[in-house]
Structure formats: C-alpha cells, structure tokens
Structure 1
Amino acid sequence: MARATTPCAHCGLPAPAGAESEPAFCCRGCRTVWDLVHEAGLDNYYALRERLDAHAPPGSGQSSQAAEAPAYAHLDDPTVLAQVRVDDRPGTASLHCTGMHCAACVWLIERLPRVVDGLDSARVDFGSARVVLDWDPDVVALSRVAALFHRAGYELHAVDAQAEQTRRDDRRRELVRLAIAGASAGNVMLVSFALYAGALSGMEAHWSRFFEFAALILAIPAVAYGGLPFYRAAWAGLRARTLHIDLPIALGVLGGFVASVVATFTSGEVYFDSVSVLVFLLLIGRHVQRRGQQWALSQTDLIQLLVPARARRILADGRREDCSSNALAVGEHIEVRRGERIPADAQVLRGRASIDASSLTGESTPVSVEPGDAVLAGTIAVDGGCELEVRAVGAATRVGSLAARIMQADAVRAPIQRAVDRISGYFVATVLSLAVLGGLAWWLVDPSRVFSVVVALLVISCPCALGLATPVALALARARAARRGILLASAGALEALAKVETAVFDKTGTLTEGALEVHTATVIAPLDEAELAGLILAVERGSGHPVAQALRRWARARVDARPERAASSIEVLVGKGRAAVFDAADGRPRAQVRIGNLAWLDHRELFGDDLTQALSTGKTPVLVELDDRPVAMLALADTVRPDAAVALDRLRALGLQLAIRSGDHPAAVGAVARELGIEDFAGAMTPEAKARTLARLPAAAMIGDGVNDAPAMRAASVGVAVRGGAEVALRTADVHLAEPGLAEVAELFEGARRTMAIIRRNLGFSLGYNLVFASLALAGLVGPLAAALLMPASSLTVVLSSALSRSFDDRRAGAKRTRSEPRELFGSGSIAGCDSLARPGASSAN
C-alpha cells in the first residue's frame, strides 16, 4: 500500500504525511529553513506565496510551488565535473554560490551535509562567494546536492576551479611573503632596541657584536625574500631600458644592507632595522593596492555571468534533455520557456515570445520574436516560449564578443599611478646621477667617506615618500568613499575621474528609474479610472511582463471598493497583449476585454493628439478595448530619477560636459535629454557603437548599469556602474555606487578632485624633502645612520597629510536599516522565494 503524502510546508514537493496539525517536510533541509523563517518573524512569506499561486491565471503553467526548481543535470556532465574539480580529486568541486549574504547563510550551508547521505563537507569562502564540496559520487550525484541547495535558497554555478586555484595560490604567496617580512622586521627591531640602549648607557663590545650579527641574520629573510618583488621589478625595468621607480628602492635596500654588513665586520654603524622595516611597509602598501583589484575577471568569467549554465536540448525523438550550455553545438535545437535566459545565439524555429534584451541593448521595452527572428544569448523570455536553433555558443556569441572587447580594452588601460610614473623616471635618473657624481667628488676630496656618502644619499633619497604619496592618499580616499557607498574597484579610477571632461550617461536605469510607469491615461466615458483599474488587475494578473507590471502598479492605486471581477478565461497573445472574458456576475453583464499594443489595437483616429504626443516623446502606448470598443489609452515610459537634475547641476559646476548614449528609442532618449537640459544625446546605439564613441573621447567617464554599457565603460577613461545594474557592469566598472540615485555620482567627481589635490601636495612635499636632504647628504652633513632615521620621517609626514585631509564626506547617504528588519539576518534572496516577493510586481512564475 502506497504511503500517504502531503505537500512539503516549505518547498511544496511531496512529503510523508504526519499528524494533521503538524507541518510536513520532504527533508531536514526544508525543516531547517522553515524554522529559520519563523524564528526571524517572516511567517507571512508562506501566506504571500499562497496568494500569488492562487492568483495565477489558468494555463500559466505555474505549479503550486513558489517557483519551479531549476534542473542541475548539467553539473553531472563529465566536462563540467572536470572543470570544477579541486586539485584534480574526484568527488570535489569549487562552485560559485549565489544568495549568501550573512553569517547565518554560512552556518546553514556548512550544516547541509548532515541531511544528505554521501555529502561529506561543504566549506564556504564567504568573501569570494565560493563553496567547496566534498562528496561520494557513488552515493549521491552533484546535481542532487545542487537541488538541495536550491531548496535551502541558494544557487550553485560552475566556475573554473583551476583558474580559481591559481588566484588563491598567488594570494597565499603574497600573504606568506608579507608575514615573513613582518616577523623579520619585528625581531630586528627588538635587537636594535638593545643596540640603541647600549649606545646610550654603554655595552660591552662582545655583546654589541653579538646583537649586530643577530640583526644581520634576522634581516636576511626580509631583505632577500621580502624584497624580491622590488628587485625583480627593478631588473625588469633595466632589461626594458626603463628606470623603474623600484630601482632606487632596490638599490637603497641592498645598499643599506650591504653597508650594514660591511659595518658589522668593521665595527661601523648598522641599520638593519630601517632596511627590514622599509621592506615590510612597502609590502603592506603593495598588498593594499592589490586588494582593490580583486574584481578583475577573465573573459570566461564574464560569459559565465551572463549565459545560463544549463540548457534544454531537444533530441531527435522529441525528448528534452538538460545539458551544460558549454556542450551545445551549432545546429542543435533547444527549448526556452517563460522566464528563462537564452543560453546561445539562436534563430527561432517555432513559437513566439517577448524577449527582454535591456541588459544587452538598453531597450527598455521587451521585443516580440517569431519564427525566423534571431535572439541573443543572455536575453530573457519574459512571456511565451519557443524552440530555437543554435547559431553560436560561448565566446562566438554576441555576449562573448562583448566580453572579448571588455578584456581587450582592459589590457590597454593606462597604469594606475601615471602621475608618479611620469615623475619617477626623472627622479630615479637624478638620484643615480647624483650618487655617481657625488661619489667621484668625494673620491677626490676624502676617499674614506665615499661609501658612507653614497649610501646615505641612496637611503635618504629612497623614493619611499614619493611612492607612498599616491597609494596612501588613494587608499584612504577609497576607504572613506566606501563608507559612503562608493566602491572603487581600481584606485587609479580616482585620478581618471579628476581628469574627466565629459560625463556620458546611459538612460535606462541610470538617469531614469529603469522601470516603466504609466505617465498619462485617457479614459473614454462612461468608463471611469476605477473601473478600468479593476479590469486591468484582472486581465494582467500573474504576468511578469514589464508593461503588465507597470499597468498593475497604476491600477492598484486607483481601484475602488467595488467587488473584484475574476476573468473566466485569459488568452496570452505574445507580441500583442492579452484578451480576457468575464462572465456575467453581480449585476454586471458578460464582457470581453483586450489590452495590447498599437500594432494590435490601432485606434489612432480616436485618440489622435494624445497618441501622437505619446509617440513623439518616446512613450509606449497601451490600448484597452471593452466589447470591441476602445475605452482607454495609457502611455508608459521610464521615469527620470528625482535627484537627477540637482546632481547634474553639481557636475556642470565642476565644468563637465554632459551627454547621453543609449540603446533605447531615440524619441525616448530625446525626451529625457530635454527634461534634464542635456543637448548632446543619441539613441538606438549598439554596445559596440557606444564603445567606439567613448574611445574617441580623450577624457570621458561612462556612467551606466547594463551589460550593453560594459564595453563602453572599459573604453572610457573610467567606468561607473550605478546601483541595481547588471553584475557584469558592476564587475567591469572602475566604480560601483552602492547607494541609489545620482547624488553619489556628483560626490564621486567632487571627491576625486579633492583626492588629487591631496596627492599633488604630497608629491610636492616628498620631492622638496628629497631635494633638501639629498643636498645635505652630498655635502657630507648627514651620515648613513641619520639618513636611515630621517628617511621614514618623510613617509610618516605623507601618511599624516593624507589621513588628516578630507577627500570624501564619511556621511553615508541613505538611512540605515534597523536591526528589527528581517533582511538584516537573511540578506536579499537568502531564503528561496523571498527575493521575488520583495520586488514590486515580481512574478512568482519566474
């Protein structure tokens, strides 16, 4: 006899039926998440999900679950398993995990192995959003493990484990070098304290010799291993016939060390402490700089961000098979359903769909496709579904070509500290020339002092302050900007921002809110707005189309207390709109309602001037028919951000020229430009055209949010990604604004100019300092020991100058979230389905 089942209280899958009053669960993972949801006070999540399911229209294909669980069969593909394997060990995988936002997420994931036989461990690297799994392939498949993560609210994606391992090894070597140099410098300082104390109070000669030899031995790791990157850079510069800024550092470190070694055997003055501490501080500075460059992506990483990992292949016998999108071949047939992202460039064979290509083209309104039309990888089928023939995969797709352009532009970008590099060539040549000339002069005057004068000159002229003038100011500015919500992936972006002459904006999602809204509504009597709102809510219920979402938002604000009408049938006409039939009820007669675009319901003669005005300003008209009679016309458009005008005025006050480059319709772009007073604008631009335009501008910043903006961001002098943008735009941009609105764009440019003023002051001080004390060293008035003591003073002055100066206002824009808000515990989307409930108008069918 079959055991009775009931839907799982969390995910909706069949679960063993228990007591009537107790919730049933299909697994311990669902029980864990269910308990966490209730402990966090989010009990209404399940009630909201049930209401969304109840409102789904007939034939929408929506299950009783909040969302259909994606298939993970592609993770069992041998090619994918080899790609994600860790240290070439079977049964291991390094996977990218989305949905982790707090320590509670880490706690839950690392305890998931308790509920799956064969899953031995799950180790989380929260900083890189990676999960390393160890499982027994003979007991459980990786696809089943991924399905468990999905039910707990997390998604696993394949990453290149070998490339990730290489990056981890590089980071590990850098930290080991830093630790060894720090330990060496600390111990040398302890020994040096004894020598300084002995010099003041008297110390027996044999103890002094002992401490000098101890300092020599302890300094070797810092000088030999810690200073290796500087020696390599200096040598590489010499081989390239360039005087690298690390050359005086290498000569100063080696010269100081050699002089101290000589002094150890000749009873002279030693300064192993200054040399070892110098190496340690320089390594810290380099480490801080590299930490800001951890968002660098390979071309493969960029494609993985945009293209789904799995595809649904159609076999010759008509069966559907889940496979890795990387395994698709040109000519194969695939199926794409509503709400899914297209895995390859393809041509439509059967079916019709509305495609959201805004992330690639910038067009804010979905476009309809039918058999014979081409579709691009990375775009989304928001309505309908179709069968496609693959035309290009991976790097050969449009997305792949965009990723290649991004990486090519990234490879030719200018060095991070161009100002310092320009000065350093002359500075290094001058220091070396002075050392040679000074040595020759003292050889003629007093040969016994040649070595001490040259060493003192190299040590005191060591460009430590010059080297720290820029990175310290940039690091402090980045930290202060981050506290305000301005995240700089590249420290050099501040210099580029300060030199910008033209700020080029994308329209959709940057200058505008990025969501369609009803701007005007023309209603024909006897129908009123309240009755129209009720019809719209009934007809558009459950649709995930952006136009439908905008109509529902407008209708909710106008519906009255009259009984809600329910449609007896709803027909979705892809590329046109929706038609619904209402049976007679509550004294109201039977009615047929159609809501659609102008191409389907063309009533130009009736709405005349209103329709012409909407079209001329780039708005999208939507018409409503009641029993074959036109009753309303609504004009939809994106809304300009409320703070845009003030922020743009602040940019104009800095002397910046403003421009708009968008992929949206030229009329829509022109309407926004006129509203904001921007004279230079262009619409209907492809991503490649944007990139070419930005490449021709000598000092321009690209501010945008979509994938279509990413190549332009790399081609520009600096790229700025606004909050809510596509992940590839955020990852390829130099700057990410974590706070909404354009006020932070103005603060970014103002702060960058203040930072560069601080850097110029620091550079002026360090050059003046070196000029004065190099002259004293050449005159023989400053010996090696005094030089070793004075040299860090210039660095300390530069650091204090940067720390005490204001670059960015530390005030964080926007209100802080209170501890009582549930998202503080779980983070956005950390529980399956919560993210869709949090977004107004989100469709649970997706």
Structure 2
Amino acid sequence: MSSPTCYHCGDPVRDEILYDEKSFCCKGCKTVYEIFSTHDLASYYEMQQAPGASPKVSNGKFDYLSNDLIVEKLLEFRDEKTGIVSLYIPHIHCSSCIWILENLYKLQPGINASQVDFPKKNVRITFDIKKTSLKELVEFLNLIGYEPYISLDDSEAGKKLIDRSIIYKLGVSGFAFGNVMFLSFPEYFEVSEFWLDQYKGLFRWLMFAFSLPVVFYVSKDYFISAYKGLRAKILNIDVPLALGIVVLFARSTLEIIFDWGTGFFDSLTGLIFFLTLGKFFQQKTYNFLSFERDYKSYFPIGITRILPSGQEDSIHVHEIKKGDKILIRNEELIPVDGILLNGNGRIDYSFVTGEASAVTKNPGDKLFAGGKQVSGSIEMEALKSVSQSYLTKLWSNSIFQKNKEHAFTRLIDHISKYFTIVLLLIAFSAAAYWMFYDVSIAINVFTAVLIIACPCALAMSTPFTLGNMLRIFGNKKFYLKNAGVIEQLAKANAVIFDKTGTITSNKKSSINYEGILLSPDEERLLKTTLRSSNHPLSRTLYELLAEYDIVPLDAYCETVGQGITASHKESTIKVGSPAFVGESLGTTSLNTAVHISSNDQYKGKFIFYNEYREGVSKVFKDLEELYSLSIISGDNEGEKERLKELLPAKTHFMFNQKPKDKLKYISSLQEKGMTTIMVGDGLNDAGALAQSDVGIAVSENVNVFSPACDAILDASKFDKLYQFIKASKSSVNVIKVSIVLSFLYNIVGLYFAVTAQLSPIIAAVLMPLSSISIIIFATLCTNLIGRKIK
C-alpha cells in the first residue's frame, strides 16, 4: 500500500495525525484545516488537491514587528483605525492561493480586505489596527502557510530572487547542453576507432550525468505544475512538456543501460535550455513593460506649491521635494505624505481604504498620500517626494474596478481548455502509427508533437500587444488604467463630451463682470473662496483676482454642479448658478456665467467667453463617420449656435444637465446596446465617467485624480483623441493577426512533427522562437501604430 499524503500540503505522512477522517503530516497542517473548515472555507481544497504549504513555526521570528519605527516603514498607510501593508509572499503559486488570500477577511476579523498581484506574488492587505497588529497579521499568514518575505532595505528583494533563479537555471542548462553536444560529436561524425573502441561508455554516461541537473533542477517547475494540474484534474500546458521530457530521459537512459544507442540527451538538454531561454526573454519583456508602466507614465497632475514669498507656483507632482509647502484645494488629491499646516482638514481616504467617511485633521496632524480633501483648501508640508508607482497603484485599486469583459482573454481561455487534450490525442495517435514502422521514430514523433505545439504564442499575443500600447500611449500623454481599456476603446460606437473644461480651454477664456461692483473685502473673500475650488471656471476666475490677499475661511461648502458657499467672520458669499445664489430675475444671459451674492444680496455675474481647444473641429469631424456624438453640459444654451458652426451637424446637444442627468443619458445609450466613451473634466462628471464603458478625464495641469475614470488625457493632446481611438482599433487587429499566425504555426509545426520530419531538438528551438516571434511581431506593429500618432 502506498503511504498516505497530507490532506493540506500533500507531503508524505510519517507520524500520521487523523482528524475529520483525513490524514495530516503535522499539527500545523491540521490547525490550518481546522481554521478553514471553521470559517466555511473548506472549498479551498476543492479547487486543487493539497494546495497548501506546511506552516513553519516562527519561534519569535517576527518579534521585530512590535517595533513602531519598523512598522511605520512597512505600512503604506496608517490612521487611527486602518492600516495598509503590501507583502511579498513567495509561496503564491496557483488559483487556490489567490482564492484563500483574497478571503482572509473571513478568517481574521481584523482584516478588512486583501488583493493579490499574482505575477509579483504580492498581497496588499487593509486591516483594522485596533483589532490586529502587523505582527499578528504576519504570524497568521505564517500559520496558514503563507510566510511573507520582509525586507526593510529593498521591497523588491523577493522579486529579484526569482529573476536570479531563472538565470541560474539558464546557466546550468546551457552548460549541460554545450557539453552534451560536444560529447555527441564522435557519434555525429561516426569516428569508429575512437568512439566505439575506447570511450563510448564513458561519454554516454557523462552525457547522462550532465542531463541529471537539467531534468531534476532546471525543469522541475514543469513537473510541479503538471503534477498539480493532474491532481486537480486539469490538463494544463505543462503536462505535455513534462511528458515529453520524461519520455526523452527514460528512453535515453534505457539506451545507454542496455547499450542500444547513445540516446537523445542532446535533444533533451537542448529542449530544456531553449524552453528556459524563452521563459527568460518572456520575463524580461514583462519586466520592461512593467517598468515603463510604473516609472515613465507620469500622470499630467499638477500641484500648487507655495513659495517662501507667499506666491503660488504650479508644478508637476513629481517635482515635489521634502519640505515643500503645498496647497491642496477642495476635492484635490494629497499626492505625498505630509503635515497639515493650515486649514480645516476633512480627508476622504476612500481611494486608499475603500471607506468613504471623511476624517477630521487638525494642524500638526500627519496626512497620507492618496487622501482627498473635501472641505475647502488646506496647506501642508511634504515629508517626502512623490512615488509615482504608488499613484498608479491607487488608481488601479480593485475597489474601483469595473467588471468589463475582455473578449480576447475569454477566447484564449476557452481555447486553452481544449488545447492540451487535442495535443495529447494527436501525439499518442501519431506515436501509435509510427510504432508499426520504427520505435525510435515513434518516440521522436511523440516528443516532437508534444514540444512543437504550444499555446504560449497564442496566450502572449494579447498581453504583449496591449501592454506595449499602454506604454506607447503613456509616452504620448494618454494614460490608461489597464490594458482592457484598449479593447473597450476599439469597440466603442458613441462618444459623449462635457463642455466646460473639456472641449473648452480654461487658460484662454475672457471674462466680463456685470452687476454691482464688489467691495475690496468682498473681492478678497471671493478670491479665497475660489482658491479652494477645483472647478475650471473657479480656477479661471481665481487668476483674475490675483492681486488680493488670502483670508482664512471660517466655513466652506461646495455643492457639486451648483455652487460654493463660504464665510469669513460676519461675511458670507455664494458663488454658482442663479438659483443657488438666490437670483431668478435678470439672469437670462445665454453665455456661461458665474453668479455672486454677498450676505444674501445678489451682486452680479462674471460672464465667460469660451475659447475652444485647438483641433476640436477636426476631432469631431474625424469621429462623426463612425461614432454617435453628443455634447452634454451643465451650462445654458448660450454657446449652442457657436458649437453648431464648429461641430458636425449630427452632433446631439444637451444643456442645463445636472451630474445625475449625465449619468442617466449614458445609461440610456447603453440600454440601446451602444458602447460609450465619456470625455469629461473628472469633477462634475464622475458619475458619468464611472457609468460609461470608457471614462476619459481631460487634465489641464490640475490635481484631478479620480478612480471613476479609465483614462487620463493630457489637455495638450486633446486633438489626438481620434488617433488614440484609431490606434486602439489597430491594436485589436494586431491581436487578431497574431492569433491567426499562432494557429498557422501550430498547424504547420504539427504537420512536420506527425510526419517524422521534425526532430525533438529542432522542435525545442522552434517552440520558444514562436513565442519570441509573436512578441517581436506585436512590438513592431504596435510601435508602427504609435508612430502614426503625430
């Protein structure tokens, strides 16, 4: 009888521990099973048989996490209630690991949420610091078999270890392959006297020795993956590769034992060397795309720095240095950790934690990057420079992800389910046929079929094409949340534009005032009120009042889509729509206007004469043939006639629309089966941006950073919008061609393999080359597409 294996980790059981009619190798595995069962998470074991790892006893290993200074360095975010930490966990290896790590909140009451980044083997955990500490959290992860790798010096240390292991395997397999080929030369050239008479046995056993580390060290990942797949009753792509390696090694070993021949050690070591080489290049390419994404795609987010002289200077967020004094306006993102200096801090950390309730902060309190000020403006001192990759992480927070289908991903997943089954049927059928003619040919055919047919090229076409387009778009100042947005852009057939701050330029508007002249005190209070707002009209009007000083506000309230109320001492001012400020007569101007009342007395209005962005007419003209176009604005119809002259006749206009009206309009188009793109300024359009299939926020050097949008477009590139959408369509066409090429490669390769015209070593060379060729094809095509965006 075979010895039992542990129900949790799959290791052989020596001192069997029985519990719930199941065998466990140690108390640790039994404890983990009890935890999962108690919390109704026993379905973890249904996903894969014995998916867990045997937990290690810590014995005070994590005591250093009781030190507050160390904890402070490790935590991304911390306030009175919530802590957030990102941990590298080497043991993450399968879907079961992802499932259990994203259900940690069911196991530990102090954990609020957890998100796994599988390629980086990273889990980001949000926890209640009143219920559990970081030390208890790490010890719990260790208990269930997911011990984190923690390094204070280098947060990427774990990832670098993986990179080095591939290099080691590449070196071992390359060294062995070269030596086996060298030892095979006498056989190749039929040097009978030297080979057969004296050193035949020695050379063959040396080749066997060189193949051992290649088979049992370099290729172990294929065996592990194939074993876990079979154990879970899944035929993954590593099954035929592992089978091919076993067949080659077993046949070659038998040949030298019984002196039948020299074997296939050259093919075997060559196969594994070229597979490892292909994996190495694949990882290098992924790392390159990740590097571009994290560090070269700087969002066009500006921030206001307050100089020692008191003057305000607009700078890019990545120019912020430690010690800088910066101004954060209402609804503006805090881009960097800092100390609150002035103002009433009401910080919404929902970007970070997912919880929408704002927390009150007083001068001297610490503020964390990712919070949003929601009650007037504040001044703060930066404690460090900006981490752009952290902003990318905030924007991509799974809390705000929309469930959007990705057609190509679904297609490839569907194909992959049946690929291995069909491949094994072809391999066994071809081998059975050739067995009647020559056993050695049958083995060659069987192995070549298993090696040459690989869905890797098929699977790589989508991520590499879309990943490279992400990089290209980022370099051209069009920043997408993820690669799936490109697919949605390509499918869209309706584009909806906001007007103010989107197709109009805030920097080129001219302003006239009509009404009772404001006193210097009223203008000073008006300037301070506008200083706190991020609305495009507020920012434009604020620049007009630059000569006045700033006064501290006692109260500030901004009602989205309507206006602002602020007070200082005995004075109150309202800025916004006529109804908001309490005026209903004499306000029939058809131009965009901001109305003012002081102490409930209507004063007048600032009339804006908009200047439209350069290239607006061309963008709409390019779009009109393929898309339904709409302008939807909260302003009145004052600009309608002018817009009719600028824009195509088929453009649909809607004015006096509140934020909820914009959202309803998007929903109505989607109910008709249309795929929508909403282009707005990211402020009053948040609901519509979130509802649309693709929400694009146009940013004009302001710190508008909303999780509602799928893309951020630098305002200077607005005239390239059609080119970006067209490039997305071209990218999808590249994917389609790549898929066709992948199928052709597999069909042609299988033909030569089945007809015994392809040796295993040639198949081993062609298999990674096919994947690399798809990567090169996708990269070249997307680079050509990118060059057309002028």
Residues 341 and 707 of structure 1: CA distance in aligned 2, closer, same or farther (over 3 Å): farther
Question: C-alpha separation between the residues in 2 aligned to 1:414 and 1:791?
Answer: 27
Deviation at 1:797, TM superposition (A): 3.0
Question: C-alpha separation between the residues in 1 aligned to 2:642 and 2:66?
Answer: 54
Which residue in 1 is equivalent to 2:627? 656
Question: C-alpha separation between the residues in 2 aligned to 1:333 and 1:793?
Answer: 54
Matched, 1:437 2:429: yes
Matched, 1:285 2:259: no
Which residue in 1 is equivalent to 2:752? 776
Matches within 5 A, 1:75-474: 87-92=65-70, 93-94=72-73, 175-200=160-185, 204-205=199-200, 206-225=202-221, 228=224, 238-239=233-234, 247-266=236-255, 267-270=262-265, 271-279=268-276, 281-282=278-279, 285=282, 292=290, 379-381=374-376, 407=399, 410=402, 413-414=405-406, 417-425=409-417, 427-474=419-466
Matches within 5 A, 1:476-495: 476-495=468-487
Question: C-alpha separation between the residues in 1 aligned to 2:269 and 2:429?
Answer: 26
Deviation at 1:612, TM superposition (A): 0.9
Deviation at 1:460, TM superposition (A): 1.0
Matched, 1:634 2:606: yes
1:195/1:211 contact within 8 Å kept: yes
Deviation at 1:777, TM superposition (A): 1.2
Residues 634 and 457 of structure 1: CA distance in aligned 2, closer, same or farther (over 3 Å): same
Which residue in 2 is equivalent to 1:51? none
Aligned to 2:595, the other structure's residue is in SS state strand
Deviation at 1:810, TM superposition (A): 5.6
1:572/1:579 contact within 8 Å kept: yes
Deviation at 1:731, TM superposition (A): 5.5
Q: Which of 735, 745, 750 is 2:721 aligned to?
A: 745
Deviation at 1:434, TM superposition (A): 1.9
Aligned to 2:263, the other structure's residue is in SS state coil
Deviation at 1:680, TM superposition (A): 6.3
Question: C-alpha separation between the residues in 1 aligned to 2:511 and 2:568?
Answer: 23
Which residue in 2 is equivalent to 1:41? none
Which residue in 2 is equivalent to 1:793? 769
Comparing both chains, which one has the higher relative contact order based on Cα–Cα distances under 8 Å and sequence gaps of 6 or more?
1
Residues 541 and 770 of structure 1: CA distance in aligned 2, closer, same or farther (over 3 Å): closer
Deviation at 1:636, TM superposition (A): 4.1
The residue type equivalent to 1:381 in the other structure is G
What is the TM-score normalised by the length of structure 1?
A: 0.53
Q: Which of 735, 738, 742 is 1:759 aligned to?
A: 735
CA deviation digits over 1:226-280, x for unaligned, max 9?
77567656876x45xxx6xxx2344224423542353244232132333244245
Matches within 5 A, 1:668-817: 676=647, 678-679=651-652, 683-686=657-660, 696=671, 697=673, 699-706=675-682, 716-723=692-699, 733-737=709-713, 740-807=716-783
Residues 409 and 235 of structure 1: CA distance in aligned 2, closer, same or farther (over 3 Å): farther
Deviation at 1:805, TM superposition (A): 2.6
Deviation at 1:289, TM superposition (A): 5.1
Question: C-alpha separation between the residues in 2 aligned to 1:764 and 1:261?
Answer: 36
The residue type equivalent to 1:207 in the other structure is F
Question: C-alpha separation between the residues in 1 aligned to 2:149 and 2:620?
Answer: 42
Q: Which runs of 5+ in 1 are unaligned?
A: 1-84, 99-123, 126-156, 296-302, 313-319, 344-358, 361-376, 384-401, 557-563, 582-591, 815-846
Instruction: Quote the sequence identity (%).
Output: 17
CA deviation digits over 1:82-132, x for unaligned, max 9?
xxx98443332137789xxxxxxxxxxxxxxxxxxxxxxxxx99xxxxxxx
Question: C-alpha separation between the residues in 1 aligned to 2:347 and 2:400?
Answer: 31
Deviation at 1:772, TM superposition (A): 1.5
Question: C-alpha separation between the residues in 1 aligned to 2:568 and 2:345?
Answer: 34
The residue type equivalent to 1:248 in the other structure is I
1:669/1:681 contact within 8 Å kept: no
Which residue in 2 is equivalent to 1:109? none
CA deviation digits over 1:134-187, x for unaligned, max 9?
xxxxxxxxxxxxxxxxxxxxxxx9999969999977976555344323311222
Aligned to 1:381, the other structure's residue is in SS state coil
Q: Which of 543, 546, 549 is 1:553 aligned to?
A: 543
The residue type equivalent to 1:657 in the other structure is S
Residues 603 and 513 of structure 1: CA distance in aligned 2, closer, same or farther (over 3 Å): same
Aligned to 1:436, the other structure's residue is in SS state helix
Question: C-alpha separation between the residues in 2 aligned to 1:217 and 1:742?
Answer: 57
Residues 659 and 223 of structure 1: CA distance in aligned 2, closer, same or farther (over 3 Å): farther
Deviation at 1:595, TM superposition (A): 9.3
1:704/1:720 contact within 8 Å kept: yes
Question: C-alpha separation between the residues in 2 aligned to 1:304 and 1:168?
Answer: 35
Deviation at 1:425, TM superposition (A): 4.6
CA deviation digits over 1:734-757, x for unaligned, max 9?
544456442343332122222222
1:517/1:551 contact within 8 Å kept: no
The residue type equivalent to 1:380 in the other structure is S
Aligned to 1:634, the other structure's residue is in SS state strand
Question: C-alpha separation between the residues in 2 aligned to 1:538 and 1:304?
Answer: 22
Residues 197 and 553 of structure 1: CA distance in aligned 2, closer, same or farther (over 3 Å): same
1:474/1:491 contact within 8 Å kept: yes
Matches within 5 A, 1:560-639: 598=578, 608=586, 611-614=587-590, 619-622=593-596, 633-636=605-608
Question: C-alpha separation between the residues in 1 aligned to 2:700 and 2:548?
Answer: 36
The residue type equivalent to 1:621 in the other structure is H
Deviation at 1:217, TM superposition (A): 0.7
Q: Which runs of 5+ in 2 are unaligned?
A: 1-62, 78-85, 88-125, 142-146, 190-194, 256-261, 295-330, 379-393, 558-563
Residues 565 and 801 of structure 1: CA distance in aligned 2, closer, same or farther (over 3 Å): closer
What is the TM-score normalised by the length of structure 2?
A: 0.56
Question: C-alpha separation between the residues in 2 aligned to 1:758 and 1:712?
Answer: 31
The residue type equivalent to 1:183 in the other structure is Y
Question: C-alpha separation between the residues in 2 aligned to 1:517 and 1:88?
Answer: 57
Question: C-alpha separation between the residues in 1 aligned to 2:742 and 2:684?
Answer: 43
1:513/1:641 contact within 8 Å kept: yes
Question: C-alpha separation between the residues in 2 aligned to 1:690 and 1:534?
Answer: 43
Aligned to 1:421, the other structure's residue is in SS state helix
Residues 709 and 447 of structure 1: CA distance in aligned 2, closer, same or farther (over 3 Å): farther
Deviation at 1:190, TM superposition (A): 2.4
Question: C-alpha separation between the residues in 2 aligned to 1:741 and 1:613?
Answer: 32
Aligned to 1:613, the other structure's residue is in SS state coil
The residue type equivalent to 1:94 in the other structure is K
Deviation at 1:431, TM superposition (A): 2.5
Matched, 1:475 2:475: no
The residue type equivalent to 1:275 in the other structure is I
